[in-house]
């Protein structure tokens, strides 16, 4: 299966989001997607405690390890490919986590403008 064409919201090649913990629908470190990814795991977020608690209240426990799903459980500061709709819900509840634009899949732009995403962009010190 060819994933080489995956682009980020900046129109550049998608940069991996996280290998520790290993994230992505395909567990390849990248926020790539296909038609089997019903959740659209497109947003590379830097999760916060506030967001983790919000997600837990919404019925999605991202804190408890689930080894059977190769899921280690997240702590604040971890980078994780979030479902686009969950990030939008968090945005509307004023607790959206910061994101990495270079690791967020361009399909996120189908529901969220680049301007909104840029407001939550983690800026890397280079």
Q: What is the pLDDT of residues 38-87, one digit of tens each?
A: 889 999 999 999 999 999 999 999 999 998 887 889 999 999 999 999 99
Asked if residue 1 has pLDDT above 80, the reply is no
SS3 label, residue 90: helix
Percent of the chain with pLDDT over 70: 94
pLDDT score, position 102: 97
Pairing of β 79-83 and β 98-99: unpaired
pLDDT score, position 85: 94
Average model confidence (pLDDT) across the chain: 92
Task: Give the C-alpha distances (Å, rounded to integers) separating 82 from 96, 104, 126.
Answer: 11, 9, 25
Domain boundaries, the chain: 1-126
| Residue 47 to residue 62: CA distance in whole angstroms | 10
CATH code of the domain occupying 1-126: 3.30.56.110
Give the least confident one: 18-22, 102-106, 120-124: 120-124
DSSP 8-state secondary structure symbol assigned to residue 64: S
CA-CA-CA-CA torsion sign (75, 47, 82, 54): positive
């Amino acid at each position: 299966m060819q994933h080489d064409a995956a682009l980020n919201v900046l129109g550049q090649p998608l940069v991996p989001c996280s290998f520790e913990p290993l994230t992505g629908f395909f567990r390849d470190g990248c926020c790539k997607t296909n038609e089997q990814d019903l959740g659209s795991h497109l947003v590379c977020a830097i999760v916060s405690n506030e967001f983790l608690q919000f997600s837990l209240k919404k019925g999605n426990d991202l804190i408890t390890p689930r080894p059977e799903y190769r899921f280690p459980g997240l702590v604040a500061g971890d980078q994780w490919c979030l479902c686009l709709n969950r990030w939008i819900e968090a945005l509307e509840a004023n607790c959206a986590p910061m994101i990495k634009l270079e690791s967020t899949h361009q399909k996120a732009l189908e529901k969220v403008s680049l301007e909104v995403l840029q407001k939550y962009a983690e800026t890397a010190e280079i």
